[in-house]
Chain A
Amino acid sequence: MIAGEACETIAGTLVAAATTTKGVRAIEHDGQAIEMPYAWLLSDSLRIAGALQIRGLNPGDRVAIVVPEVAGFVRAFLGITTAGLVPVPLFPPGQAGDVSTFTRQSRDLLIASQASAVVASADVAPLLDLEHASTSGHVCQLLTIDALAEGPALLVPVPVTSDRPALIQFTSGSTAMPKGVVLSHANLHANLSAIAGPAGLAIRPDDVGVSWLPLYHDMGLIGALLTSIYARNDVVIMSPVLFLKRPTAWLDAISRYRGTVSFAPNFAYELCLRRVKPSQIAALDLSSWRVAGCGAEPIRCDTLESFADRFACTGFRASSFVPSYGLAEHSLAVALATGGVNVDTVDSARLVRDSLAVPASNGAANGHAVRLVGCGRPFPGHEVHIEDETGQLLPDRHVGRIVARGPSVMAGYFEDPAATAEALHRGGLETGDLGYIAEGQLFVCGRTKDLIIRNGRKYHPPDLESSIADVDGIRSSNVVVFGISHVNEADQVVAVLEGRASQTSRDIVDQVRRRVRETVGLELDHVLLTPPGTIPRTTSGKVRRSETRARFQAGTLLTGGRISLDAPPGSR
């Protein structure tokens, strides 16, 4: 093994971490803790890698992981990468709807990634549709961790050059048309060293990571697990199910294990405010928490301020907040703001009307002001630009498309040159987000793409539309779903259906809500049943989603009828 080169692969960082006494503590959904020192994980992954090799898998082959258990996922991931194979993490069942949805979606992702094998836990295996995941000339084998742990062990990780794929992350693109982000070992290494480095979190040897984030998601996998292996630090990784059942479990773990670095989306801080009881707060000591990262969805000042107030008695410091911005196509992080929350209070009317972030005269007291949270500066060796539609650079405080460049930008989408060309052009990554730069800091304030974000999870309108189209009496060509993102609020989700008014209208609306809850676990904020001809279309008959949204927001969608919205204050 060539030392310098190997350290830039995931397996190389594990070999280096194995020389320490540090490791991963997995806390499962039932609270059971499993300690896995890096030295043990290295020998375990050499055994798993050997077992994968004798099953005929060759370096570069894709191996999917569908393992809800934390320890099992970590072992599978490291074993696969140690064998020189490409891990493809998939979401487990029970996270995004009913069992049949899981079976269908996981099959589609296995096909899209052309996986040669899938490592699944015993409970999940029967829910996988492998028969149809194996395409012509291509068989997908089912493997379990227990079978793989027998070895025979390899002596060293299979050498891989750093330009080879390290990981395929299916967080981008709809499930109807899945897009797998291909990250090379060099991409990951660039992002990990930026995150951990002096311009990032300035990770120290005694830092302790704590995370409840799913490992099939970039923030949990790269931000918690791989960053900790890279930095050779202890990390506590708990099941997201445990956190969602009992949010206090997250804070308990930080308190008990003296956690110093822990990231979560905005909604997790909200959940703690809503569900951690005063008696539970009294037992916490959060004074060790020096990096309280917040990212993966729009960040609300109110949430961070309320959290800092409520948990001040535990020793939590507001200056620990690290608002962050990133996306899977940029490995993980684009920018992060250490040193606390930097708030920019701007005139909301000018922001919407003129795409200008003009500081509001009367501060937050002004009803037309909106407070945005700064996400810091780009990392060394990386660039973030704000561009207009034509690719021209925009000056400070002008809102435009956020375009990122540098070594963390993905190689492309797996086997999808068209989507890759759309995301990567003029040498930059089209993030699909809107923002501006002020005093060197990046502020994110909207999206150009149709993505809907709720509770840190991303939803694609075509997926919601296709689940609605299953409802009797609705044709897929007569449905439009879109999100309305508010600067400081959770996204609202609107479905517009065309149909004929009849006694069954009410039933159809109920069925639509029901269907979306069942398949994707999402509550629609507004469902509108409208007369035929309401939804704007292209000349070829395709629905125009952005135009539908614009008309809905302007109140001009129903020219013949009236819409009245009886919604709570703040949701417009």
Chain B
Amino acid sequence: MAGATHNVRVTFSGLAYTSDPVRGGSAPGAEAGSSADRFERDTLDILKRLSRHPIDPGPTSELLADLGFDSLQVLELVGELEDHFNIAVPLNALTHIRTVDQIVAEVRRLVGQQEVAP
């Protein structure tokens, strides 16, 4: 699978620009730092590790649209999160989760469930 970055530079009418498949999706005020808990920190680490391009994910970054994950990588991410946090992500969660903070919230919810469970 051709997963590497393909930059296409098109020049016409005196205009040149590069199309880069992946943009950092960091939103204003989304700097990772002080308030980041372990769920957020670890999730971001896993996202960066699985991405085939350098990414700078923020809470509102969308997995498919901003971070350049394809449907295969989304499932790889779910597998990694399940192993790392020892959780089972329900099937229908996959159809609704789009952004990084939705992932973190789902992880937090599932870990919480686990800790409450006998």
Q: How far is the CA of A71 from the CA of B80 in the complex (A)?
A: 25
Number of A-B pairs, beta carbon distance below 8 Å: 126
Residues of B1-20 at the interface with A, using a CB-CB cut-off of 8 Å, are: 1-2, 4-13, 15, 17-19
Q: Which range holds the interface residue count of chain A?
A: 35 or more
Contact of A489 among B2, B74, B75 (CB under 8 A): B2
Q: How far is the CA of A246 from the CA of B76 in the complex (A)?
A: 7
Q: Mark contacts of A57-76 with chain B using CB atoms, 8 A cut-off: 1 yes-contact digit, 0 otherwise.
A: 00000000000110000000
Task: Known contacts A517-B68, A558-B12; decide if A94 and B6 are in contact (CB<8 Å).
Answer: no
Task: Known contacts A275-B76, A505-B15; decide if A513 and B8 are in contact (CB<8 Å).
Answer: no
Q: Which of the segments A324-332, A378-386, A564-572 contacts the partner chain?
A: A564-572
Task: Known contacts A244-B75, A563-B10; decide if A521 and B70 are in contact (CB<8 Å).
Answer: yes
Asked if B94 lies at the interface with its beta carbon under 8 angstroms from chain A, I say: yes
Q: Which residue of B lies closest to A246 (CB)?
A: B79
Give the chain B neighbours of A567 by CB distance below 8 A.
4, 6-7
| CB-based contact A513/B75 at 8 Å | no
Q: Closest Cβ of chain A: how far from B41's Cβ, in Å?
A: 22
| CB-based contact A245/B21 at 8 Å | no
Where the two chains meet, the residues of A that have a C-beta atom closer than 8 Å to any C-beta of B are: 29-30, 68-69, 93-99, 102, 123, 127, 241, 244-246, 267, 270-271, 275, 454-455, 489-490, 492, 501, 505-506, 509-510, 513-514, 517-518, 521-531, 558, 560-568, 571
25 inter-chain pairs at a CB distance below 8 angstroms, sorted by A residue, are A29-B91, A68-B91, A94-B95, A123-B91, A123-B92, A241-B75, A245-B79, A270-B1, A271-B72, A510-B19, A513-B21, A513-B68, A522-B70, A523-B68, A528-B8, A530-B10, A531-B12, A558-B10, A561-B11, A564-B9, A564-B11, A565-B6, A567-B6, A568-B2, A571-B6
Where the two chains meet, the residues of B that have a C-beta atom closer than 8 Å to any C-beta of A are: 1-2, 4-13, 15, 17-19, 21, 23, 62, 64-66, 68-72, 74-76, 78-79, 82-83, 88, 91-92, 94-96, 98
Contacts A454-B1, A531-B12, A567-B7 known; list 8 others, CB within 8 Å: A241-B94, A510-B23, A513-B19, A514-B65, A525-B6, A528-B10, A563-B9, A563-B10
The 6 closest A-B pairs by CB, nearest first: A561-B12, A245-B79, A521-B71, A244-B75, A94-B95, A509-B19
